[in-house]
Amino acid sequence: MILYNAHLPGIADGDTLVLVAGKIDWIGAMADLPAVYDDVQRVDLEGRLVTPGLIDCHTHIVHGGNRAREFEMRLEGASYEEVSRAGGGIVSTVAATRDGDEDSLLQSALPRVDALIAEGVTTIEIKSGYGLDRETELRMLRVARRIAQVRPITVCTSFLGAHAVPKGSDADHYIDEICIPALRAAHAEGLVDAVDGFCEGIAFTPAQIARVFDVAKQLGLPVKLHAEQLSNLGGAALAASYGALSADHIEYLDETGVRALAKSGSVAVLLPGAFYTLRETQSPPIDLLRQNGVPMALATDCNPGSSPLASLLLTMNMGATLFRMTPSECLAGVTAQAARALGLSDRGEIRTGQRADLAIWDVADPAELTYRIGFNPLWKRVFAGEWT
Ligand code: DI6
Ligand code: FE
């Protein structure tokens, strides 16, 4: 397929893309189109903006139930940590997720997935972490894989067994006797693309996370970490020492942590939806990340508690307004940098050889994607060269 009359920012004189066998085969000016493409079907984009398909690199989109009641408690003044210590929070979603079978978890996740797709998302990451037992952790990951069968998107899975300590359990016992064996079982079933954890006072210590990461390393799986969200336990530096794909949240990250990420080449995944929902006041160290050349991605963190957000466009707006990221950083944060956070080198950029996952927008200036609130200017999507 030939897409001509396209607005391709940053590509000098380029107004045409040729897609062949699911990939970008040629980019340039229509006037220079090589004759080999003479018979290929053409579509006039009438000047519309073309970006890579958007990538949501951090979601908990598969989960049972909702936490609207907890939302009300927080409006009445309870903090996220207080709710969590009172038996609400993550462990209440665990009960609802254990109750759901594969089909019901799939049916409840799909409307959220479809909301992302409607805004041009073509790749999403999905974590386990609301099972906290072997059976439910694996079920969540199977549902994540099924999403990629019933929708045209790519799904990358992360095993997040180390998300919370289940009610009545001891954290060390849980890590060694439940979480790590579940990781091995999920890996054996081909369900795991990466391994994640939650390093925090209300979750796991760096030493406990390190035990999970050691197993990930043995299995040849990349790691990432929820780090420095509510306090600084040195989680990002720990993740960096394992060559992590990313450190996520990182509101409380200090300069030592930023340097560690720069050295390991890990991506800083910023989650303004959680910052907004929890009314956090400590912003991630954006200037330090910039100065140290740490790539910044943005993601929804779509989950029922701290970020009930299913819009990557709104996430971009929040990245700008709450974190003062520039609109071009926001766009790179949901394309090239998000791809990097997932270890995917075949997508996220408009470049020859890349997978033809594209979003086509009815806007003149790419900054419009970040600036409007609650408005979706998507015109069409292309998944691996196919219109939808
Ligand atoms: N941090 C988060 O933002 C999500 N998990 C985590 O470790 C929130 C999960 C939840 O509140 O259900
Ligand atoms: Fe998260």
Mutate to test the pocket of ligand 1, among 302, 307, 309, 315 (most ligand atoms within 8 A of CB): 307
What pLDDT was estimated at residue 309? 98
What pLDDT was estimated at residue 126? 99
Q: Which atom of ligand 1 is nearest to the CA of 229?
A: 1
Q: How far is the CA of 194 from the centre of ligand 2 (A)?
A: 14
pTM (two decimals): 0.97
Which numbered ligand comes closest to the C-alpha of 247? 2
What pLDDT was estimated at residue 377? 98
Which numbered ligand comes closest to the C-alpha of 127? 2
What pLDDT was estimated at residue 385? 96
pLDDT digits (tens, 9 = 90+) for 130-176: 999 999 999 999 999 999 999 999 999 999 999 999 989 999 999 99
Q: How far is CA 367 from the centre of its chain?
A: 21
Ligand 1 cavity residues, CB under 6 Å: 60, 89-90, 93, 163, 198, 226, 229, 274, 301, 303-307
Average pLDDT, rounded, for the chain: 97
What pLDDT was estimated at residue 388? 81
What pLDDT was estimated at residue 172? 98
Edge-to-edge strand ranges of the sheet holding 378-383:
49-52, 358-361, 378-383, 386-387
What pLDDT was estimated at residue 301? 98
Q: Given pLDDT bands bounded at 50, 70 and 90, which one contains residue 88?
A: confident
- Give the pLDDT mean for 260-264: 98
Q: How far is CA 91 from the centre of its chain?
A: 22
Q: Above 90 in pLDDT, residue 85?
A: no
Q: Given pLDDT bands bounded at 50, 70 and 90, which one contains residue 82?
A: confident
Q: Above 90 in pLDDT, residue 84?
A: no
Q: Above 90 in pLDDT, residue 313?
A: yes
Q: How far is the CA of 41 from the centre of ligand 2 (A)?
A: 42
Cβ within 8 Å of residue 119, ≥6 positions away: 54, 311, 312, 313, 376, 378
